[in-house]
Amino acid sequence: MKTLDNTKITLYLAQKILGDGLDIGDTIWDWGNYFEMPPADTAEKDLDYYNKCMRLFALNIELVRYQKNWYSTCKVADFIWENKKKFDKFFNEVNSEDWQPKNWHIKSNEDEDFYDTYLYCFEQLINGNYSEEDYKRLYEILLNIQGE
């Protein structure tokens, strides 16, 4: 979704306007999940790493079509693909061997193995299924803070 001045609408802005999380789906894959970040006025220093990652995701995932009572379409797979090297680094470090991208030969975000290798693991990130230490590591990788 773009405004009249062609500015992209992100999940961050959408949630800031709505005041609550929302169900999101992807533009490429038949995938959906509930997404929520901490309130926009929460100071970064007051967030744990899970919430820092959710805010970072929200700031970078484009909302294409808002739907009040259904999954709002977003460019989730595009966001993951644009940051593939960073997600590869993280998933290769923390996931079990079956879920490590280095063991797959995925050429695009439309490749059939993309769903299991990236989108499923991204869903697990949103759902809070990684440790706080893992979220800290992902945050550092995404922001190029250390260990690159």
| Buried/exposed 73-98: b ≥16 CB within 10 Å, e otherwise | bbbbbbbbbebeebbbbbbeebbeee
Both ends of the chain: CA-CA distance in Å?
Answer: 33
Rounded CA separation 32/29 (Å): 9
CB hemisphere CA count around 68 (13 angstroms): 0
Averaged pLDDT, 124-148: 90
pLDDT in tens, 49-79: 999 999 999 999 999 999 988 999 999 999 9
pLDDT in tens, 16-59: 888 889 999 999 999 999 999 988 788 888 899 999 999 999 99
Work out the mean pLDDT of the chain and round it to a whole number: 90
More confident residue, 146 or 91: 91
* Structure tokens that stand for 148 in this block: 């690159």
Q: What is the pTM of this model?
A: 0.90
Averaged pLDDT, 77-83: 97
Other CB atoms within a 10 A radius of the CB of residue 104 amount to 15
Give the pLDDT confidence score for residue 6 in this predicted structure: 59
